[in-house]
Amino acid sequence: MFNTYMAASLVPYMYPHFVRNTKPKLKFTDEEKSAMLAKDNTYLLPHYHKQRTKLIAWVVSNHSPRNNRKEYAKAIAKFIPVDIYGRQGKQFPPGRDLFQWLSENYKFYLAFENSNCKYYITEKATVNALKCVALHNCVISQARLCESTKLDSQLYFTN
């Protein structure tokens, strides 16, 4: 493999490029880490955190994907309300940045790909999340989500 999204490529091409900081300027002792974790850090949340009254949003444009993401979203919606936005769903307020608006109103954002490819890293997990400072939103692994909701991951995810 030469130039692909796969990390094993000779020249991997990925959306954002993150480099590990091997010489951090700050190092915390275990005691300092424990003290920080014991504090109430809710002041670090965005100022609009308390106005988030809606739980989950899903923005979808391709309604004919090559995976079962629609069925998976419907299965999630049996347990938790999912608001669907896009061509065949609700419309978000015009004149607003979509991801900023979602971040201000929703606690979670579902990000599914049109198809599942082994080793592919989506921009939805990096670019979109960083664009609206959505890393505070929870990312749940498919196995844990399927386990906690009694869903069969093989039914909804393919490689």
**Does some domain include residue 87?**
yes
> Residue 83's pLDDT band (boundaries 50, 70, 90)?
very high
Residue 36: Cβ-neighbour burial (10 angstroms; 0-12, 13-18, 19+): exposed
Q: How far apart are the first and last CA of the chain?
A: 18
What the block records as the tokens of 87 is 């061509």
**Does some domain include residue 53?**
no
**Does some domain include residue 6?**
no
**Does some domain include residue 130?**
yes
* Domain housing 101: 61-156
Amino acid identity, residue 118? K
Averaged over 82-106, what is the pLDDT?
Answer: 83
Averaged over 32-58, what is the pLDDT?
Answer: 82
Among 60-74, 84-98, 124-138, the range scoring the smallest mean pLDDT is: 124-138
**Does some domain include residue 139?**
yes
Number of domains in the chain: 1
> Residue 104's pLDDT band (boundaries 50, 70, 90)?
confident
Q: What is the pLDDT of residue 151?
A: 43
Q: What is the pLDDT of residue 37?
A: 81
Residue 143: Cβ-neighbour burial (10 angstroms; 0-12, 13-18, 19+): exposed
**Does some domain include residue 138?**
yes
**Does some domain include residue 49?**
no
Q: Are 93 and 105 in contact (CB under 8 A)?
A: no
Which strand (E) or helix (H) includes residue 70? Answer: helix 69-77
CA distances to 45, 106, 107 from 134, rounded to whole Å, are 11, 10, 9
- Rounded Cα distance, 111 and 122, in Å: 9
Residue 111 φ then ψ, to 5°: -130, 100
pLDDT at 141 over 70: no
- Rounded Cα distance, 59 and 91, in Å: 10
**Does some domain include residue 43?**
no
